[in-house]
Amino acid sequence: MFFGTTYDIFKQLLDIFVVAFVIYQILAATKGTRTVHLLILLLVLMGTYLVAQERFFDLPTFRWLLDKFWSVIFLMVVILYQDDIRRSIARFRWLDQVMRTRSSTATGSLEEVVKAVRSLSSKRLGALIVIERNATLDTFSSDSGIAVDAVISKELLFALFLPEHENPTHDGAVIVSKGRITAAGVILPLTTRKEVEAWVGTRHRAALGLSEQVDAVVVVVSEETGRVSMAVAGELRAGLSIDELREFLLSEFSEPESGTWLTRIKAITRGSRREDS
């Protein structure tokens, strides 16, 4: 309900719009990363704290704990999630995000990836191909990669992973975004997990490490065995056939995203639920 004069109603509507805009921008900056879970946790704590006030359920012990430990909680959050927070802040370019539309990778581009993986696997050439989804990978590209900006093709992907001494990109990852190869020779963060199997090498650890931080799909070709694997949401699916790889990629990129605000908010929510499952 809105009360008061026309000016008062306008202020109330403006207040709601500003809050909604800020929440949307925070979600847009953190979607596809672990930071979105952190935001949900903080919102739950804040909501519980409000409900614990005297005028509601009156939970004095819980209120006392949060009053004493809010600063400690935020300090722990900053320490544990510093990398995710840094990347989210780096993505907080609101005008750019409002104006541009992210769409799913086209089926034709995915087929070029599959063809390249088939060739690389048959010749036992190691490869690491990252396909962007919601979370932007610009930070990783700018930190260590070589800018490419070319239409994706089987031939170009194959050439980027040729193990020649003069080829500076063959040991790094290739990043694919919206049907284009945006960077090559990118160094990815390694997983810190201790329980990975002994056969998991550096490429697979890098694939796991990136998929733990953002919602990208990472395809790996083993240099020793030619085995094809895929890392998604911190899980490694190893020993895939080419048909299985194609099926997985099509299932991950089957839904095109509309450019409207409402659809993009729904996409953020879906991405969060996918990571929770």
Together in a domain, 113 and 95: no
Instruction: Collect all residues with Cβ–Cβ distance below 8 Å to 133 and sequence separation of at least 6.
Output: 32, 104, 214, 215, 216, 217, 252, 253, 271
pLDDT computed for residue 32 by the predictor: 58
Residue 275 CA neighbour count, 13 Å, CB half: 26
Q: Is residue 161 part of a domain?
A: yes
Q: Tell me, yes or no, whether 140 and 235 share the same domain.
A: yes
Domain assignment of residue 207, yes or no:
yes
Contacts with 108 (C-beta within 8 Å, 6 or more apart), sequence order: 179
Contacts of 110 (CB under 8 A, 6+ apart): 131, 246, 249, 250, 253
pLDDT at residue 96, rounded to an integer = 42
Q: Tell me the pTM.
A: 0.60
Same domain, 95 and 142: no
User: pLDDT value at position 133?
Assistant: 85
CATH of the domain at 229: 3.40.1700.10
118: helix, coil or strand?
helix
Domain count, the chain: 2
146, 183 contact by CB (below 8 A) = yes
Residues 112 and 94 in one domain: no
Please tell me whether residues 76 and 137 are part of one structural domain: no
Residue 248 structural domain:
107-254
Q: Please give the pLDDT value at position 276.
A: 46
Please write the tens of the pLDDT for every residue from 100-132: 444 455 678 899 999 999 999 999 999 999 999
Divide the 277 residues of the chain into consecutive groups of 10 and give the mean pLDDT of each group: 68 79 68 65 77 75 77 72 60 44 64 94 93 84 85 92 82 89 91 78 90 88 92 89 92 60 48 45
State the chain's mean pLDDT as an integer: 77
Q: Is residue 260 part of a domain?
A: no
Would you say residue 44 lies in a domain?
A: yes
Q: Are residues 113 and 240 in the same domain?
A: yes
39 with 111, same domain: the answer is no
Q: Is residue 266 part of a domain?
A: no
The closest of 256, 207, 251, 253 to 232, measured between CA atoms, is 207
Classify residue 148: in a domain, yes or no: yes
Task: Tell me: do 76 and 111 sit in the same domain.
Answer: no
The pLDDT score that the predictor gives to residue 81 is 66
Shared-domain flag, residues 87 and 150: no
Q: What gap in Å lies between CA 115 and CA 89, rounded to an integer? A: 36
Give the C-alpha separation, 231 to 208, whole Å: 6
